[in-house]
Amino acid sequence: MHRIALVGMPNTGKSTLFNRITGGNARVANWPGLTVELASHRILLGARMVQMVDLPGIYDLSGGAEDEQIAQSFLASTPLTGVIVLLNATQLDRQLGLALQLKALGAPMIVALNMADEARSAGITIDTAALGQQLGCPVLLISAKRGDGMAELKQALGQLPGQEVQLDFSHLAPAATFHDEEARLHHTHVSRPPTMPASITTRIDRWILHPALGLPLFVLTMFLLFQLTFAIGTPLQDALGSGLDWIKSTWLEPSLAGAPEIVRGALLDGLYDGVGTVLTFAPLIFLFFSLMAVIEDSGYFARAAFMMDGLMARLGLDGRGFVMLMMGFGCNVPALMGTRVIRDPKARRLTMLTIPFALCSARLQIFLFLCSALFTPAQAPWVLLGLYLASIVIALGTAWLLRRRFTSSEPFALELPPFRLPLFRQIRLRGWGETRSFLRMASTMIVTGVLLVWFLTHYPNEHHSYAAMVAQVLEPVLTPIGIHSEMSIALIFGFVAKEVVLGALSVITGMQGNALSAHLASSMDPVSAISFMLFTLIYVPCVATMATMHKESKSVWFTAGSVVWSLGLAWVLCFVFYQGTRLVSGWF
């Protein structure tokens, strides 16, 4: 199999180019450190089938971070037909060294200068022909985001000799060796205006990075995102729920009228109600992550990390920890893997302890449902914003409490990308990618989970089931924090995956959609609902997250300590909130 590696520094657009060439769906965002494992895809180049491999971003071939070691190990051990070296056309003064290192190793390469449109806007001109002669390979101007130069790049890939080359790292010179040559090539072949005009990015950054206004603006931006999600998504959710109810009453119930009760109950009250309740959140998931893609692709999250670095340093972290926390809002698993960009082991472990508190998309489904069921449209965005802020405060508080056990002196360096207008295609791909992942989960784990819940709530019988026995054991622990028996069973299945919680509630109550919302509204008050959501936010996220933490930390004790800490912290904070709120409300 012919293999072509895609190599470049962080935030040069590698994943965007990978998706553009292969038609894949690697996650794309305008911040560094996003690709933390190898993504590969087979494509047909001429008459040859080629495997394209997207490597983690690396600054040079002798770096010591784990993500850099992954890329180095692949390049050193895998015979390659070619290497695409992706460089930012506006930053060649500090990126040509990577191409020079690969040239010294004898790599058959093509140098693609990405973001050529931004270079033109900045008045930068590049003599690609002369630069190509110096590097001994084709040099092409492209825009992976817009698709410019893709035909020329694919043509150059098709013209690679086809012989596999094994790169020899045994005599690799350090990056500093190439600094003089890098400076000479940039001075000779790259021309830029004597003075760069004040860009839109600079003007926006005066507000975004303002020491007093920056953080309130970030909170306001996130609140508007939640507001739009509820305003647009709730009607779509209600319409989908009504459609599923109609299908059940019109088609499924008559079709199964003659079936045995056990079959009818398992299929209708178990499988259909459970999975149907979860599926109604597909519009909200699509909307939320499409809007998040706008913020990520714009470059705003990288600035949030930069702005938070001063605070993070006092907590024993740095701005990269905040970036990983932001990634955790999508899913804790890739965020934990993303900590590989942190070289210091202690700083990395402290960051890993904070990530499970990030409000991931699986928890979001639960909170969206409960917020819409128990709070008014005006109240719901504030409750959701409060949960997001709570997740950040709890994560940072954990770092502050444990900072002395994980002290680090590693300096913080983060490159701020320019603001960019997200393309509709990237927004759509992000929204659909998260929704597809959600639907895939619904077709596997959620189906299994809701059927298991149905069995546990109906055997040996409905009045004295296995689930009721478990709830009775948990009652002394969960009652003081306002969580009653129905919700406690759902929490147990949340250990496996938070996506199962809503399906479990539907099966336990025998209701779905609007009927389930009405039931929860009558059986829970706002205080107990917030306590339940707070507990769901803090306690163990899911099995996949814990497995990833064990894999990345290589320590059973570290992983077990994280579980014990999150469970204990969840109970204590919910007890203080629930009992304290009851006490205060009693005074008035």
Query: Is 400 contained in some domain?
Result: yes
pLDDT at 196: 47
- Same domain flag for 173 and 235: no
- Same domain flag for 187 and 225: no
pTM of the model: 0.58
Domain holding 553, by residue range, is: 215-410+424-587
Query: Is 178 contained in some domain?
Result: yes
Displacement of CA 473 from its chain's centroid (Å): 36
Query: Is 406 contained in some domain?
Result: yes
Distance between CA 425 and CA 20 in Å, rounded?
Answer: 11
Question: What would the pLDDT profile of 69-111 be if each residue is shown by its tens digit?
Answer: 778 888 888 889 999 999 999 889 889 999 999 998 888 999 9
- Same domain flag for 489 and 558: yes
Task: Please enumerate, by residue number, every residue annotated as part of a binding site for GTP.
Answer: 8-15, 33-37, 54-57, 114-117
CATH number for the domain that contains residue 107: 3.40.50.300
- Same domain flag for 247 and 172: no
pLDDT at 452: 72
pLDDT at 96: 92
Query: Is 418 contained in some domain?
Result: no
pLDDT at 138: 93
CB 576: neighbour CB atoms within 10 A? 11
| Helix ranges restricted to H, 299-379 | 300-314, 319-328, 332-338, 345-354, 361-374
Q: Among residues 52, 59, 53, 2, which one has the least CA distance to residue 33?
A: 59
Query: Is 112 contained in some domain?
Result: yes
User: pLDDT under 50 in the chain at which residues?
Assistant: 28-34, 196, 588
Amino acid identity at 129? A
Amino acid identity at 137? C
Reported as type and span, the H/E element at residue 439 is helix 424-441
Query: Is 168 contained in some domain?
Result: yes
Total residues found in the chain within this entry = 588
Give the residue from 159, 191, 223 where a domain finishes: 191
- Same domain flag for 108 and 236: no
pLDDT at 122: 73
For the chain, the domain total comes to 2
pLDDT at 110: 94
- Same domain flag for 227 and 182: no
- Same domain flag for 444 and 327: yes
Structure tokens at 159: 């013209």
- Same domain flag for 119 and 232: no
- Same domain flag for 168 and 278: no
- Same domain flag for 157 and 276: no
- Same domain flag for 229 and 82: no
Query: Is 419 contained in some domain?
Result: no
Q: Among residues 365, 373, 371, 366, which one has the least CA distance to residue 522?
A: 373
Query: Treating both helix axes as pointing N-terminal to C-terminal, what angle do 361-374 and 380-402 enclose, rounded to 10 degrees?
Result: 140
Task: Please enumerate, by residue number, every residue annotated as part of a binding site for Mg(2+).
Answer: 19, 22-23
Query: Is 313 contained in some domain?
Result: yes
- Same domain flag for 285 and 377: yes
Distance between CA 320 and CA 317 in Å, rounded?
Answer: 8
Task: Please enumerate, by residue number, every residue annotated as part of a binding site.
Answer: 8-15, 19, 22-23, 33-37, 54-57, 114-117
